Amino acid sequence: MAEKILVIGACGQVGTELVENLQSMHGSANVIASDIRTSDNPVFANGIFETLDVLDKTQIAEVFGKYKPTIVYHLAALLSATAEANPKFGWELNMDGTFNIFDACLEYKVQRIFWPSSIAVFGPTTPKVNTPQSTILEPNTIYGITKLAGERYCEYYNQRYGLDVRSIRYPGLIGWKSLPGGGTTDYAVDIFHQALKTGSYECFLNAGTTLPMMHMEDAVRATLEITNAASNSIKIRSSYNISGVSFNPEILSAEIKKHIPSFEISYVADSRQKIADSWPQSINDLQARQDWDWQEKYNLEKLVSNMLENLKSEVLKSN
Ligand code: AKB
């Protein structure tokens, strides 16, 4: 029987690219994209779309009842900077939304569910370099607190109710097909757009702020690989560390300069600096490599040339 796949929070940075991949793997008729808002990205015009607010249990029951999904990707969340600006709503959306979706998954006997965690589960007391899978978890942002509580919730639902939930701790994600919104790592996408449009970029993080990052193609592949892995290979039911590439704004801008020699970067740190300073610089993902064969494909050089090559035509089109 064909899988029926429901993507919740589909219009976001990860959702948009995930839906496109799922449509080509399973056929548009088997992928239900859902979000509280709509998007004019053509990917949604090609398939099924449902409006879905994860805080509205009636709407959730309608969508689950109508499609009876076998696999659910629950991506709806407020990211770090947006949640910090509205902590109560950040908690409500990220936690109550997850409770509602997990309960629906149990009720409608969903076979597998993917829920994204983040490097935001780590905090200022976590070892910053080559951060281990199991380590001190004392996040000091509301986003990180919801991600840590969510991880514990994933493991609890797996152990208590047998919910087959899989999760990875996303680093900052960098892709050219969709825009991020409300994150601390968003500079690493904005910088490419501005480099091509104006030839300069004012960065909201300081030059030396090293953070773990990943090309979106790697992130979507990791998401699909962990969700499709044999259940007995998934040993960690909270969330897996995964690593792509680590760099800071100065290193990234030097790599961009190899392609656009006149590119200039300046630095005016804002409130997102404090969030970035609480996160690790690099991640140890040995466990993901061992358990489900995780392997990234993009290093910094490949990531930068891929972003500039693909965005060039997009930016030219919009000018
Ligand atoms: C953010 O910056 O909030 C996200 C994340 C690292 O989870 N990109």
According to the model, what pLDDT value does residue 294 have? Answer: 98
- What does the DSSP 8-state code read for residue 6? E
Torsion, Cα 93 96 99 105, to 10 degrees, reads -50
Ligand 1 pocket by C-beta < 6 Å: which residues? 79-80, 118-120, 143, 170, 172, 183-185
φ, ψ of residue 39 to 5 degrees: the values are -140, 145
Centroid of chain to Cα 317: 27
According to the model, what pLDDT value does residue 276 have? Answer: 98
- Distance, in Å, from the CA atom of 278 to the CA atom of 308, rounded to the nearest integer, reads 30
Greatest pairwise CA separation for the chain in angstroms? 58
Question: Do 24 and 43 touch, CB atoms closer than 8 A?
Answer: no
Residue 1 pLDDT level (bands cut at 50, 70, 90): confident
- Distance, in Å, from the CA atom of 177 to the CA atom of 96, rounded to the nearest integer, reads 30
Cα separation of the two ends of the chain: 46
Residue closest by Cα to atom 8 of ligand 1: 172
For residue 146, the CA-to-ligand 1 centroid distance in Å is 13
* pLDDT exceeds 70 at position 319: no
For residue 270, the CA-to-ligand 1 centroid distance in Å is 16
pLDDT in tens, 102-161: 999 999 999 999 999 999 999 999 999 999 999 999 999 999 999 999 999 999 999 999
Residues 6 or more apart whose CB falls under 8 angstroms from that of 215 comprise: 173, 174, 175, 244, 245, 296, 297, 298, 302, 303, 306
pLDDT above 70 as % of the chain: 99
Q: What is the mean pLDDT of residues 13-27?
A: 97
* 226 or 46, greater pLDDT: 226
Enumerate the active-site residues: 143
**Triad 16, 111, 41: Cα angle to 5°:** 10
Question: Which residue among 121, 186, 242 is best mutated to probe the pocket of ligand 1, counting the most ligand atoms within 8 A of its Cβ?
Answer: 186
- Distance, in Å, from the CA atom of 144 to the CA atom of 7, rounded to the nearest integer, reads 22
* Nearest ligand 1 atom to alpha carbon 279: 6
Mean pLDDT of the chain: 97
Residue 80 pLDDT level (bands cut at 50, 70, 90): very high
Residue closest by Cα to atom 1 of ligand 1: 183
pLDDT in tens, 186-220: 999 999 999 999 999 999 999 999 999 999 999 99
According to the model, what pLDDT value does residue 46 have? Answer: 84
- Distance, in Å, from the CA atom of 281 to the CA atom of 251, rounded to the nearest integer, reads 13
According to the model, what pLDDT value does residue 268 have? Answer: 98
Q: What is the mean pLDDT of residues 242-258?
A: 98
* 265 or 181, greater pLDDT: 265
Burial class (CB in 10 A: 0-12, 13-18, 19+), 144: buried
* pLDDT exceeds 90 at position 232: yes
Least confident of 65-74, 92-101, 175-184, 251-260: 175-184
Question: Do 96 and 77 touch, CB atoms closer than 8 A?
Answer: no
Cα Rg for the chain, rounded, in angstroms?
Answer: 19
The pTM (predicted TM-score) of the whole model is 0.97
Q: What is the mean pLDDT of residues 75-93?
A: 98
According to the model, what pLDDT value does residue 316 have? Answer: 66
Domains with residue ranges and CATH for the chain: 5-172+215-241 (3.40.50.720), 175-213+244-318 (3.90.25.10)
- Distance, in Å, from the CA atom of 255 to the CA atom of 26, rounded to the nearest integer, reads 37
For residue 194, the CA-to-ligand 1 centroid distance in Å is 20
Alpha helices in the chain (DSSP H): 13-26, 42-45, 57-67, 80-85, 87-91, 97-107, 142-161, 187-197, 216-228, 249-259, 272-277, 286-292, 300-318
